[in-house]
Amino acid sequence: MIAVCSVHTAIRPVLRSSWINPAVNILNRSRRLIKVGAIGGVVTALCCFTPVLIWLFALLGISALVGYLDYVLFPLLAVFLILLAIGLRRRRRDRSI
């Protein structure tokens, strides 16, 4: 914790994600990219390579749309893997500084 003087109180603790320490925000952004990329990639891969989404579409009665899943799922998988790679690259770059 960092102590900062303020007009209203003599000393108050500053939260880790405050505007005073921008390095924490950069690390949080790379961590968020890694989480979104990893979770999205796993979920999209499960939907791509297992019949989970086909069963769900059949259950909902919209199984006619199964033929179009490849047009959506493969680019979505690529986007999540790119987000994961960007997050890992930013984290490695920030830690080397």
Give yes or no for residue 17 having a pLDDT over 70.
no
Dump pLDDT digits (tens) for 53-63: 889 999 999 98
pLDDT of 75: 94
Q: Would you kindly state where each structural domain of the chain is located, as residue ranges?
A: 21-96
Dump pLDDT digits (tens) for 18-71: 555 555 565 678 888 899 999 999 999 988 888 888 899 999 999 898 888 889
Give yes or no for residue 84 having a pLDDT over 90.
yes
Close Cβ partners of 16 (under 8 Å, ≥ 6 residues apart): 24
**CA-CA distance, 90 to 67, in Å (whole number)?**
37
pLDDT range class, residue 8, cuts 50, 70, 90: low
Kindly tell me the sign of the dihedral angle through the C-alpha atoms of 27, 39, 89, 81: negative
